[in-house]
């Protein structure tokens, strides 16, 4: 890659990062072209040709994503307040945009979110965010760590990944009720299947929170378990943390054969640090990916 192309990509990436971190501000064309250090007369076409979504479309999607999180996570906030934060002057305009994107009104989504269209709606946003995030890993990025056994409460997701958002919301509700905040109780995901299995119904993942609290006998959502201790290859992921497949593939395809190590009979899993979806944006989450070793 030439130095000129690297510079161009860095400037475009800077704009995406700026948008994600300043959603409450006036993100007009003058401001964003200045962040990228491009002419405002050409920037909108440069952005669209690079990311296959307009500047306005990207900003709107990012704000609607945050608004949808707010609707579900903060029941005490009014739809009007959330609409204003998303840049809409009136709740009816917000409702029309929300329904057009997700097929539900904001109030209906708050009561019973339909996660399949919600996930598909953010295809352009995810494509833009991953455009320049072809992260490469080196052998030295992986460390071997002795991990102690970790008692956890487990919520199992079994079935189509399109419905994972619904499981995540139930998990958030449960851990809030149990007083297990992400700041004080670690969050783990155990990946028991491929990210995109040949049969969608075969997708399998465990959502876990570290705790030694007993699980009530009549609790149909959670069960007690332990992430076993032992040696693990650990890879830190700071970009594109909603899709850990590239990092996992590096561990299996490149690091493991070169290391001479053998994988232990427990699935690959991760720990999410600092905050937990949907309370913060993707760029604020740091993930450690653990490959258990013999």
Q: Are 113 and 72 in contact, with CB atoms under 8 Å apart?
A: yes
Q: Is the peptide bond before 278 cis (omega within 30 degrees of 0)?
A: yes
Taking the domain 3-130, which CATH number applies?
1.10.10.60
| Among the ranges given (61-70, 108-117, 164-173), the one the predictor scored with the smallest mean pLDDT | 108-117
Q: Name the token pair of 30.
A: 């003058």
**Residue 198, number of CB atoms within 10 A of its CB:** 6
Mean pLDDT for the chain? 87
CB within 8 Å of 210: residues ≥ 6 apart: 150, 151, 152, 185, 186, 187, 188
Alpha-carbon torsion, ordered 258, 259, 265, 271, to 10 deg? -100
- The domain locations on the chain are 3-130, 139-292
More confident residue, 153 or 281: 153
pLDDT digits (tens, 9 = 90+) for 115-135: 767 777 877 877 777 776 666
CATH topology identical between 3-130 and 139-292:
no
Report CA 127 to chain centroid distance, whole Å.
13
Q: Has residue 150 got a pLDDT over 70?
A: yes
Q: Name the token pair of 22.
A: 């300043």
Containing H/E element for 273?
strand 269-273
Q: How distant, in Å, are the alpha carbons of 18, 53, 152, 211, 243 from that of 12?
A: 10, 13, 41, 42, 21
Q: Which fold has domain 139-292?
A: Multidrug-efflux Transporter 1 Regulator Bmrr; Chain A (3.20.80)
pLDDT digits (tens, 9 = 90+) for 187-245: 999 999 988 888 989 999 999 999 999 998 899 999 999 999 999 999 998 766 777 88
């Amino acid at each position: 890659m030439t130095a000129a192309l690297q510079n161009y990509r860095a400037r475009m990436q800077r704009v995406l990062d700026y948008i994600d971190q300043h959603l409450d501000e006036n993100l007009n064309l003058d401001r964003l072209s200045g962040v990228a250090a491009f002419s405002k007369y050409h920037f909108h076409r440069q952005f669209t040709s690079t990311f296959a979504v307009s500047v306005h479309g990207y900003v709107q999607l990012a704000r609607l994503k945050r608004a949808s999180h707010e609707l579900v996570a903060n029941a005490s906030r009014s739809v009007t307040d959330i609409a204003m934060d998303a840049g809409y002057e009136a709740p009816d305009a917000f409702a029309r945009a929300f329904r057009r994107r997700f097929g539900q009104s904001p109030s209906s989504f708050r009561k019973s979110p339909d996660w399949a269209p919600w996930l598909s709606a953010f295809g352009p946003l995810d494509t833009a965010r991953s455009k320049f995030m072809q992260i490469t890993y080196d052998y030295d990025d992986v460390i071997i760590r002795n991990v102690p056994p970790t008692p956890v409460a487990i919520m199992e997701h079994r079935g189509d990944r399109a419905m994972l958002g619904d499981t995540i919301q139930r998990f958030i509700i449960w851990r809030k009720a149990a007083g297990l905040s992400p700041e004080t109780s670690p969050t783990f995901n155990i990946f028991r299947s491929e990210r995109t299995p040949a049969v969608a119904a075969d997708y399998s993942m465990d959502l876990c929170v570290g705790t030694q609290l007993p699980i009530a006998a009549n609790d149909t959502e959670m069960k007690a378990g332990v992430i076993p201790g032992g040696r693990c290859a650990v890879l830190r992921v700071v970009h594109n943390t909603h899709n850990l497949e590239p990092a996992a593939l590096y561990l299996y395809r490149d690091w493991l054969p070169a290391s001479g190590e053998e994988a232990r009979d427990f699935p690959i899993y991760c720990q999410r640090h600092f905050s937990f979806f949907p309370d913060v944006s993707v760029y604020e989450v740091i993930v450690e990916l653990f490959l258990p070793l013999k």
